[in-house]
A and B are shown apart, each in its own frame.
Chain A
Amino acid sequence: MHIRRDEMAKYGIIATLALALVLPFLSDSMFILNLLVLMLIFIIFASAWNLLAYSGQGSLGHAAFFGIGAYGSTLIAAKSGLSPFITIFLGAAVAAFIGILIGLTCVRLKEWFLAMVTFGFAIIVQTLTVSVLAPVTGGWDGIASTRLLSPAIPGYQLIEYYAVLAITIASIVAIWYIMKSRVGLAFLAIRENELEARAAGIDPVRYRLLAFALSAYLAGVAGALEIHHIGYLTPELYGVDNSFWPITYVILGGLGTLAGPIVGTVVLTVIWEALKATGLTFGRYVIIGIMLILAIIFLPRGLVSLPEQVQEWLKRRKRKEPPSEPAKD
Chain B
Amino acid sequence: MDNIGVFLQIIFWGLYAGCIYILLATGLNLIFGVMKTVNFAHGEFLMIGAYITATIFFLTGINPYFIILLSMLALIGIGAVVERFCFRPILGTGKLNEIFLSIGLIYIFQNGAAMIWSDEWQSVKSPYNGITIPVGSLSVPLDYILIMVFTAAILCGLYLFLTKTTIGMQMRATSQNRKGAMLVGINVERIDIISFGMGCSLAAAAGTLWVVSGQIFNPYMGSIPAIKAFAIIILGGLGSIPGAIIGGLLMGLAENGAAFLLGGIWKDAISFVILIIVLVVRPTGLFGEKGE
Contact with A along B129-152 (1 / 0, CB 8 A): 000000000000000000000000
Contact A300 B97 (CB under 8 A): yes
Q: For residue A123, which residues in chain B have a CB less than 8 angstroms away from its CB?
A: 268-269, 272
With beta carbons under 8 angstroms apart, the residue of B40, B93, B111 that contacts A283 is B111
Identity of the chain A residue whose Cβ is nearest the Cβ of B228 in the assembled complex? A120
Contact A286 B111 (CB under 8 A): yes
With beta carbons under 8 angstroms apart, the residue of A105, A116, A124 that contacts B230 is A116
Q: For residue A300, which residues in chain B have a CB less than 8 angstroms away from its CB?
A: 93, 97
Q: Does B100 sit within 8 A of A, measured CB to CB? A: yes
Contact A109 B292 (CB under 8 A): yes
Taking A105-B276, A297-B90 as contacts, is the C-beta distance between A116 and B104 under 8 angstroms? Answer: no
With beta carbons under 8 angstroms apart, the residue of A124, A126, A248, A282 that contacts B114 is A282
Identity of the chain A residue whose Cβ is nearest the Cβ of B220 in the assembled complex? A240
Taking A293-B86, A297-B89 as contacts, is the C-beta distance between A60 and B106 under 8 angstroms? Answer: no
Identity of the chain A residue whose Cβ is nearest the Cβ of B269 in the assembled complex? A127
Chain B residues 76-123 with CB under 8 Å of chain A are 86, 89-90, 93, 95-97, 99-101, 103-108, 110-112, 114-115, 119
Q: Does B260 sit within 8 A of A, measured CB to CB? A: no
Interface residues on A, range: 35 or more
Contact A120 B275 (CB under 8 A): yes
Q: Does A185 sit within 8 A of B, measured CB to CB? A: no
Contact B103 A120 (CB under 8 A): no
Contact A53 B111 (CB under 8 A): no
Q: For residue B265, which residues in chain A have a CB less than 8 angstroms away from its CB?
A: 127, 130-131
Q: Does B266 sit within 8 A of A, measured CB to CB? A: yes
Q: Does B38 sit within 8 A of A, measured CB to CB? A: yes
Identity of the chain A residue whose Cβ is nearest the Cβ of B227 in the assembled complex? A119
- 6 pairs across A/B with beta carbons < 8 Å? A53-B96, A120-B227, A120-B271, A285-B107, A289-B106, A292-B107
Give the interface of B toward A (CB within 8 A): 38, 40, 86, 89-90, 93, 95-97, 99-101, 103-108, 110-112, 114-115, 119, 223, 227, 230-231, 234, 263, 265-266, 268-269, 271-273, 275-276, 279-280, 283, 292
Give the interface of A toward B (CB within 8 A): 53, 58, 60, 105, 108-113, 115-117, 119-121, 123-124, 126-128, 130-131, 240, 244, 247-248, 251, 282-286, 288-293, 296-297, 300
